[in-house]
Structure 1
Amino acid sequence: MPRPKTHDLALRVRLLDRAGELLSGEGAAALSLRRLAADVGTSTTAVYSLFGGKPALVRELYVEAFQRLGKRLRAVVPTGDPADDLVRLGIAYRDSALADPHLYSVMFGATVPGFEPDDTATAQSRAALAPLLDVIRAGTESGVFTDAGGTMAMACWGLVHGLVSLELCGNLPPDLDVATTYEHALRANTAGWTRRQSTVVDQVVPADRVD
């Protein structure tokens, strides 16, 4: 019988997740290959076999983080209503961050001093946000959105990134209904970019609170 393959995809994922936890929770100094291997219950040989060393491990962690985000966003199937699709993408973005909070700072923070993604890794990270660009493009071409010079994507990304960062860092009021507030913010932002603003705003503000 063939020997079982121990350096498999499941081990790779466990190593990447633990590496992300060490970086986000304790900083770059905590990420040693010896400790990583011990924490996951494997050997440093396995780490070298899968990644080739610490720099390659960090690069793969960066790519993995964006791939998971991209997978969540691509799972949002367009409905033909770009405004609603944009809100759904925003919710999927938050869901991704909450599912893998240890990867968020890897994507958007300088968790490893001196790390710079190469051109391929950078392209893969940008590809993760392609669903956002696709929805904005579809909405603009159909006349639903009033994108001015391509600033809409940056504004939408900035909103969700800011709110998610505040949540992950524990900087939101403890009694806040985060999910509801987050969706209201998404819908209000969408209203600012749509030609049918009154319809979207009606979804955000209860009728009995409109003067």
Structure 2
Amino acid sequence: MSPKPAAEVKAALLDAAIRLLAHGGPEALQARKLAAEIGASTMAVYTHFGGMGALVDEVAREGFRRLSANLGEVRDTDDPVADVLTLALAYRRTVVENPQLYAVTFGQSQPNGQKVAPGDMTSEESRRHLSEEGMEAFGYLVRGADRVIKAGRFRPASEFAVAAQLWSAVHGYVTLEVAGHFGDGDNGVDQVLIPLALALGVGLGDDLEAATRSAEVAIEAWRG
């Protein structure tokens, strides 16, 4: 039997890493277990990634790719505030479905002592050094913020700064939710995330009544 193409083996190792994370947490992400998952030797990890550090970096990039895919499913409507909240709900769903993957993606866990280096997003210069995958995911929030500002719903401001505030709010909420602080099901969405979104929106310049209507539109679409 001829050996599998390198790209196929590399993809299999990445998929195996994400499965191990989902079922066993960061402690399960070991070269020996990865190799066993795909029926290869531990050398495969080093041959195709150069080591566990590079593999963890690739896991993080894959996390951003999956996040971008879900955020990209949100379609524009004539209500940009509702669209931003829909992006937040898509973000939340993505992380809740695989919290271990996103703990690695955002540097909150360290498999085998390997941690993804954080990136500085506070200036145009520093953003040039961030991964393409991370910037693509963040770009959905930037574009959403820009639409809201141009629609006059938020005060004039840097779309990057506004997107970073939106990101901070939703990621902080989701981090607490997956840790179990808001109970099971969607209670936290109703009791915490939506009020948080309204408070932030009004703080950024939106009218409370208009923001509430937008939230109702987003929630109705989310619940189907």
Match of 1:98 in 2: 96
Cα root mean square deviation, aligned: 3.2
Q: For residue 189 of structure 1, what is the aligned residue in structure 2?
A: 200
Structure 2 spans left out of the alignment, 5+ residues: 120-127, 217-224
What's the CA shift for 1:70?
1.4
Please, which of 162, 172, 185 is the counterpart of residue 172 of structure 2? 162
Alignment partners' CA distance in 2, 1:10 and 1:124: 17
Determine if contact 2:106/2:118 at 8 Å carries over to the other structure.
no
Q: Report the TM-score when normalising by structure 2.
A: 0.73
CA distance in 2, matches of 1:107, 1:92: 17
2: distance between equivalents of 1:32 and 1:175? 32
For residue 85 of structure 1, report the CA deviation from its aligned partner: 0.6
- 3-state SS, counterpart of residue 182 of structure 2: coil
* 1:17 maps to 2:51: no
CA contact (8 A) 1:188 1:201 kept: no
5+ residue gaps in structure 1?
206-211
- Residues 34, 44 of structure 1: 8 Å contact kept: yes
Partner Cα separation in structure 1 for residue 137 and residue 146 of structure 2 = 16
- From the superposition, tell whether residues 67 and 121 of structure 1 become closer, same or farther in structure 2 (CA, over 3 Å): farther
Measure, in 2, the Cα distance between the counterparts of 1:17 and 1:78: 31
5 Å-filtered alignment, 1:12-161, equals 12-21=13-22, 25-27=25-27, 30-112=28-110, 113=113, 115=115, 116=117, 122-150=131-159, 151-161=161-171
Equivalent pairs counted in the alignment come to 201
Moved more, 127-136 or 43-52: 43-52
SS in 1 for 2:131: helix
1:45 and 1:120 map into 2 onto residues whose CA distance is 31
Cα offset for 1:16?
2.8
Q: Which has the greater radius of gyration?
A: 1
TM-superposed deviation, 1:130: 0.3
The match for 1:209 is: none
Provide the identity percentage: 30
